[in-house]
Structure 1
Amino acid sequence: MIYQSDCIASHQEGTFKSFDNLNLYYQSWHPHGDTKAILAVVHGLGGHSGLYTNVVEHLLPKQYAVYGLDLRGHGRSPGQRGYINTWSEFRNDVQVFLKFIQQQQPKSPIFILGHSMGGLIVLDYALRYPEEASLLKGVIVLAPSIGKVGVSPSRILLGKILSRVHPRFTLNTGLDATAGSRDEKVVATYSQDILRHTLATARLSTEFFATVSWIHTHADKWQLPLLILHGGADSVALPAGSELFYQRVTYPDKLRIEYPGAYHDLQCDINYCEVMTDLNNWMDQHLFSEIETLSQKQVISSSNHH
């Protein structure tokens, strides 16, 4: 476990109330000394907040705090595994989570990172709630599931039919665990992780595809600094999906990096150090460019007063 790591001053865990009164699990890691900024992490389908060890261990010594939640139906949070009534439940959970973080650390700037399906949730949140999202310093999506996914067309079709008549019908996604990482040790831990699951309900499936379609049609409304990181050999969430979204975003402050040969779980693939460095550098740039702008404004205003 990473909680004993030297760079961690404190690890906290607890629950916060969702918009509809569920007790959703969260955990947070805080550096020694001052916190420069916060990264809020939203995991993917079947995942949980404990899968981002490398993100935590890379960012804490750089004075970033990290918060992660377990989405409803995932990890230590309640709810049928892989089930939602409507996509807005995920979106509103993220909305409440960000407000909760702001209450905990009101002075710290916040970035948000979504991985896989979490990437779709985060993009949808930022597009649906642009005013609230404008308080964020930037949005990072890691291997976002916003294009073709590695689930067979027959399962997708079955999901569509069943969503109307039997929305809670549960299927195994059939996603291949070895498609997560090229590191065999990492893949071995997946099967032993009792908090992970490979389940998706019929309703989640139809809500997912409807949301993918919606964010692509609204990509031109995007108004926030955006970083997309994707593995070139990702067979779970094909990289063409994030490339298409990236091209449709007209907002100038955007960057997409594709790592040749990399798999789906970029945070624990064999090139994760490179990915973490790119992530950290981008966040630093977006923090410091703002500090410079502020100090320039202060210089200008003070010179105007004289």
Structure 2
Amino acid sequence: MNKSEPDWSISENHFATADGVSIYYRHWQPNQVNQYVRTIVILHRGHEHSGRVAHIVEELGFKDTSFFAWDARGNGKSEGERGYSPDFATLVNDLELFIRHISEKYQIPISSIIIIAQSLGAVIATTWVHDYAPKIKALILTSPAFKLHLRYPGALIAVKIWQKIKGNFYLKSYIKGKELSHDLNRATSYHNDPLVSLQISSNLLIGIFDTSARIVSDAQAIQVPTLLLISEEDKIVHKKVQEEFYLALGSSIKEKHNFSGFFHDTLGEKERYKAFKAIKNFIEKVEFIYVPINLKNSDQKGVTYDEYVQSILPIPFYSIKNIYYFFLKSYIKMVGKRISKGLKLSHQFGLNSPISLEYIYNNQPEAIGVMKNVGIGKYLDKKYLDRLIWKGLRIRKSNLENLVGKYVKKLNKSEVSVSILDVATGHGGCILNIVDLYKDKIDSILLCDVNESNVRAGEKYIKQNKLQNKAQCLKSDFFSESLFSNIKFLPTLSIISGFCELFPDNNKLNHALELLTGIIPKGGYLIYTNQSGHTHNEILNRILNKSSLKNKTPQIIRRRIQAEMDQLIENFGFEKVEQLIDPWGIYTVSVAKKFK
């Protein structure tokens, strides 16, 4: 090779986000090797851009490595209002799409990717790893902004109050270059760089705090090998929260380094060679010894099992928690169900009943009884419907409809017969709505449910919309072998929605999945939902766990972290190709393709 040839060929590119925003990114492709060893994706700090992390490529010195760095939306050369995102979850989904994009465009296995993320970029990356459970090689976090230092006491509360009054507004960053690094060139260039934008929207600032609190409290769900670099003299973020995150991490391989005298810009500090040495050593470690954790026995041990047991164990009679649950249950039984229609339906029929779910999906508050014509009744019912878990449920329904429609069109475009099987359809309205929209593209659909009222509701919808030549609704148990042996077609698109989370036992669920996946042809898709967040699970298990199942067994929920749910599906020859999640990290909808 010519010695004057540079180590990397650098190109500038763009990709489109889910809402059509054009995101700019840089790609460093090594010139010295035909097949590079690893891929490193670098995420910049808040307010900054990919140009300010370009030095990392040179200073790491991995000449056999392909590097990528983006300008997050609203930053640098990317589109979007400066310092703005519709919500924090949108930034996380942007990263999911970015990784999928470079994996497909450059033929890079996701398992070869290492993330190096700084400050706000580290919060985005950590949330992505937590919520989407990608099987990347390693996660390297430098000075993650899990909790920002705000200059004035009560500032966050004031921002939240003002946003409620005024709506979204912008704040200017107080950060000075001299607070980021002892390297004068880095500190000075921060203020002279025309692509650095110091404003941030109030909704994004609040989203950083809220999402970080959620992720730090559930850090055990992160299974990826993780390196955490902490700057001891950081005046921008709280070191204590970073330490709490590290202690809670679920990774079998994790490492932490604290750098005395370092300011916030860990990889831009004067003595940053110390941080680069730690990164190189960690990468070498994970490349040779990392074995993914087997999560298939999480129904017998682990944090989600402990949560599940805790939610059903008797509570000491005189404890504050027991007193709280006693009054809450009494309120629902004696007051709530008499004035709030939502509470009445959940108490009478169970949360998983078609009538309860339909009411939650419709989201139209209604007072009943003596409060029917009084504003307080409707207000209380609205408060019930506005619970995060129900907001998440409504977004799950929307995400499910979007993905079913997308993969119907994808199969149709590939000239593959579109045969849909929904094994736990509920009242069937969601899937049948899609059938009605794409009936010219669908060859057949079979809806199954164990609940008689669900089956009747499905049959009624089929008849009303004249879909008898396309759709059929049967009463059948998902765990019944006879169901799968009698299906007359090979389902190219199968759906399990709102079902897996009702069965804590992995052995039982595995049996059903084995029956279902056995009839899905190679190249077919499976869409599955999961409850990965733990919002209100104990309350649901103790207060609103009345069953809508035939045997009336209470439905006790055990959440599954996304990595566990994905492993259960992958065990039957599938690979996850897409996932959507609500902004609060409660419900996911995933698509897996059968590859063998």
TM-score by length of 2: 0.46
| 1:126 has 2:129 as partner | yes
The Cα shift of 1:249 comes to 1.4
How big is the shift at 1:186?
A: 1.4
Partner of residue 216, structure 2: 216
Tell me how far 1:82 sits from its aligned partner. Answer: 1.1
Aligned residue type for 1:47: E
AA partner of residue 229 (structure 1)? L
Q: Is the 8 A contact 2:38 2:65 kept in 1?
A: yes
Report the Cα offset of residue 264 of structure 1.
0.8
Q: Deviations over 1:237-275 (max 9, x none)?
A: 222221110011133211111101111111110111111
CA distance in 2, matches of 1:253, 1:290: 7
- Aligned Cα root-mean-square deviation (Å): 1.9
CA deviations 1:36-74 (Å, max 9, x no partner) are: 111111212101111113311023544222101111111
Distance 2:285 2:205 in 1: 37
Q: Do structure 1's residue 52 and structure 2's residue 53 form an aligned pair?
A: yes
Q: Secondary structure at the match of 1:205?
A: helix
1:207–1:19 Cα change, 3 Å: same
Offset, 1:147:
2.6
Give unmatched runs, 5+ long, in structure 2.
Answer: 292-596
Checking the alignment, whether the CA contact within 8 Å between 1:73 and 1:79 is kept in structure 2 is yes
TM-superposed CA distance for 1:121, in Å, is: 0.7
What percentage of residue pairs aligned between the two structures are identical? 24
Q: Which residue of 1 aligns with 2:24?
A: 25
What is the CA–CA distance in structure 1 between the aligned matches of 2:139 and 2:183, rounded to whole Å?
A: 27
* Structure 2 match to 1:162: 162
User: Helix, strand or coil for the counterpart of 2:206?
Assistant: helix
Q: CA deviation at 1:154?
A: 4.9
CA distance in 2, matches of 1:15, 1:56: 20
Equivalence for 2:315? none
* 1:144 match: 144
Equivalent residue, structure 1, for 2:106: 105
Structure 2 residue aligned with 1:43: 44
Distance in 2 (alpha carbons) for counterparts of 1:107 and 1:85? 30
User: Does the C-alpha gap of structure 1 residues 146 and 275 become closer, same or farther in structure 2, counting only changes over 3 Å?
Assistant: same
Please, which moves more after superposition, 99-108 or 178-187?
99-108
Aligned partner of 1:9 in structure 2 is: 8
Unaligned runs of 5+ in 1: 292-306
Q: Deviations over 1:125-180 (max 9, x none)?
A: 111111xx12x001111110013424433542332123334443111121222111
Q: Residue 11 of structure 1 aligns to a residue in which SS?
A: strand
Q: Which has the higher contact order (CA 8 A, sep 6+)?
A: 1
Q: Secondary structure at the match of 2:203?
A: helix
User: Could you say which residue in structure 2 is the equivalent of 1:190?
Assistant: 190
Residue 294 of structure 1 aligns with which residue?
A: none
Q: Which residue of 2 aligns with 1:81?
A: 82
Match of 1:115 in 2: 118
After TM superposition, give the deviation of residue 93 of structure 1 in Å: 0.4
Residue identity matched to 1:22 = V
Report the Cα distance in structure 1 between the residues aligned to 2:40 and 2:151, rounded to whole angstroms: 30
SS at match of 1:52: helix
Task: Give the 3-state SS of the residue equivalent to 2:233 in structure 1.
Answer: coil
Q: How many residues align?
A: 284
CA distance in 2, matches of 1:51, 1:105: 24
Q: State how far apart, in whole Å, the 1-side matches of 2:62 and 2:223 are.
A: 30
* Residues in 2 aligned to 1:215 and 1:105: alpha-carbon distance in whole angstroms: 31
Q: Secondary structure, in 3 states, of the residue corresponding to 1:20?
A: coil
Q: Quick one: distance in 2 between partners of 1:64 and 1:162?
A: 47
> Partner amino acid for 2:17?
S
Moved more, 225-234 or 271-280: 271-280
Given that 2:16 and 2:22 are in contact with CA atoms closer than 8 Å, whether structure 1 keeps it comes out as yes
Residue 7 of structure 1, CA deviation? 4.4
**Structure 2 letter corresponding to 1:161:** I
TM-score (norm 1): 0.87
SS at match of 1:188: helix
Letter in 2 for 1:278: A
Residue matched to 1:286: 286
Q: CA 1:161–1:57 in 2, change beyond 3 Å: closer, same or farther?
A: same
Q: Tell me if structure 2 keeps the 8 A contact 1:59–1:65.
A: no
Q: Matched residues in 1 for 2:131 and 2:204: separation?
A: 19
Deviations 1:110-135 (A, max 9, x none): 011221011111111111111xx12x
Specify the alignment match of 2:244 in structure 1: 244
2: CA distance, partners of 1:149 / 1:161:
19
Question: SS at the partner of 1:153?
Answer: coil
**How much has 1:81 moved relative to structure 2?**
1.2
